[in-house]
Structure 1
């Protein structure tokens, strides 16, 4: 049967039902598009859930200090349990990838995301400080843990592990100083207002002047912060006390220069 004959038949006998520009054709077309979008959304949601499950297990392995290769064992256990409790959903569990390489890749992605988030928050710090601690890993190697804590303009406090550095050699003080100096590079990356860290140390007596100057510069923010925490400092609103404070700030600055 030729195409022309079929087209003539429908055009002459059924012009309202099979018109190329009819409403029925438009409705059918819109229905097909809606079904396609619904199917694509469902598939995308399933893929997102599969990826999320892989990230959750990888994070649990990392936090528990488990070998990355145990992800395959965990996946095998999940499939065994699923085949007993939910056999109809076993295909969905089989899509979860927990191979050693996948677990490593997931952990690296999470670490990079944490670093990016921390860098963005540090860029908004009005003031920050670091905390040092020493611990020993499973191989009896001394590790220096460097924590950072800062506060932004909204007085939101953020604390996070900044670095973990091994301590080698017998001169522990020198090793700690060198590791802290290396951490300054991370502060330089975010273009912080203060590119160095103040220390309370008898040798570095000039740090007292720096701390006075910074306290004077943040006196209004400190007063607001203490007021919010119901611990007001009336001295910070006393003009005479502020003038008395400005004197040692200037003197220590001149002595330093």
Structure 2
């Protein structure tokens, strides 16, 4: 190694000065290269390149104006004067000396004591800078706490600095005085900080969930796709796994389907996060879907493609989707009533003037509500809410339609038989909504949902038996009206619901889950 080191004589060797770099230091630095250089044992490539060498730092390099930084096993030389970081291959006296003389000729004749003092001064300035701008633990903790609240409430990031911080300062000023207000200014709440904190918490949550899934080994997923307000198809996936003898459920991913929503597209989009998270289909024990053909097709469905990777995957049809399919099964007469309600509501919602006039009519009679609820087909619970609100405001609708020359609507609303059917729909869909809402939540599983479906089936059987002689006390809105003309319709619909439950929930026995 010594043959690669250029030895330069000092110009004024006869009159050495304490500010000059002695030649002995250069030679000593060169002599230590061979002992400070270690070889990193790396495998040779296909071309048979020799082994790479890793140079180590020597204290004699301080006389050349260099210290080191980075990995102790592979340090990088750092210039004390300009702070430039060089590669490990530049850890040689000749290269370090060349950098000093070419980049900093004004200090090239300084000795080691000068560079030692400069290094100590740089460290002192860095420590003072970090102390001044370093945020303590409590303000950071408060910032993350505020970030979590903003994220859960889905508010804009700048609300923390423009609203929350100002409100906090005013409350502290009134409660504790002006001296404590300055402490709240230490909390970082800018919009960029909130965005960065949300990304940090999201990454931390993702790492924790993935670590738990990998440590437990087996997991199950629930997959569903829907279309958002911008007409883009979104694929959502939730994951369930065991954690300390408890079933944990967490959000896994939300990916956009680029074009079509076929089974192959769903598999490709979901397989990408599986690979990035280092999860395998062999560890997936169950898949829950909405039962659509793209999901459950025998040949090209998503489930079939997943079972090609793991034939032991258990496939289930979501209880909520099955209950929604049962609720959709209504007779022709009841469907005509529902369609008329949706037609009237849409007519009102499409005309803001009509909505304001109707609100004024409701206020004049001191009604509990002043607006109707619009029906949205993709939101299953909205059907029951729309019918309930419309039935509660039916008398106000009659007055409004009579005053607004809406004779067709007024005639329908004035029909007692039609209103009796509306009352029954409002009551029965209220019960169906209650059943659907009861099967939602983190602590819900196939056992509890099965119990609720079984209970509702028994309830329908009892209702049918009691309604046969004309007793409809289980439907409070129907009791107040003459229901004899719609009694066959009620019995027919109850039979339809029972048949739908038997169709979509054929095997509901709990014996197969006794081992749990």
**TM-score class normalised by the smaller sequence:** 0.5 to 0.7
Three-state SS of the structure 1 residue aligned to 2:217 is: strand
Distance 2:254 2:305 in 1: 28
Output the aligned Cα RMSD.
3.3
1:194 matches 2:285: no
Distance 2:269 2:305 in 1: 22
Corresponding position of 1:99: 190
Deviation at 1:65, TM superposition (A): 1.5
1:231 matches 2:500: no
Question: Structure 1 stretches of 5 or more lacking a match?
Answer: 1-45, 214-229, 234-257
Corresponding position of 2:102: none
Three-state SS of the structure 1 residue aligned to 2:219 is: strand
Corresponding position of 2:147: 58
Specify the structure having the higher radius of gyration (Cα): 2
Corresponding position of 1:211: 312
1:120 matches 2:214: no
Q: How does 1:1-257 map to 2 (within 5 A)?
A: 47-73=136-162, 74-87=164-177, 88-135=179-226, 137=228, 139-151=230-242, 154-188=244-278, 194=282, 202-203=298-299, 204=304, 207=307, 210-211=311-312, 231-232=514-515
Question: Structure 2 stretches of 5 or more lacking a match?
Answer: 1-134, 288-295, 315-512
Equivalent residues of 2:221, 2:284 under 8 A apart: no
Greater helix proportion = 1
Deviation string, structure 1 residues 32-63 (Cα, Å, up to 9, x no partner): xxxxxxxxxxxxxx932211111011111112
Distance change >3 Å, CA 232–CA 175, structure 1 → 2? closer
Deviation at 1:142, TM superposition (A): 3.4
Distance 1:212 1:196 in 2: 7
Q: TM-score, normalised by structure 1?
A: 0.55
Equivalent residues of 2:157, 2:194 under 8 A apart: yes
Distance 1:121 1:63 in 2: 23
Distance 2:157 2:228 in 1: 18
Equivalent residues of 1:184, 1:195 under 8 A apart: no
Deviation at 1:137, TM superposition (A): 4.8
With a CA cutoff of 8 Å and minimum separation of 6, indicate the structure with the bigger relative contact order.
1
State which drifts further: 112-121 or 132-141. Answer: 132-141
Corresponding position of 2:449: none
Distance 1:206 1:175 in 2: 12
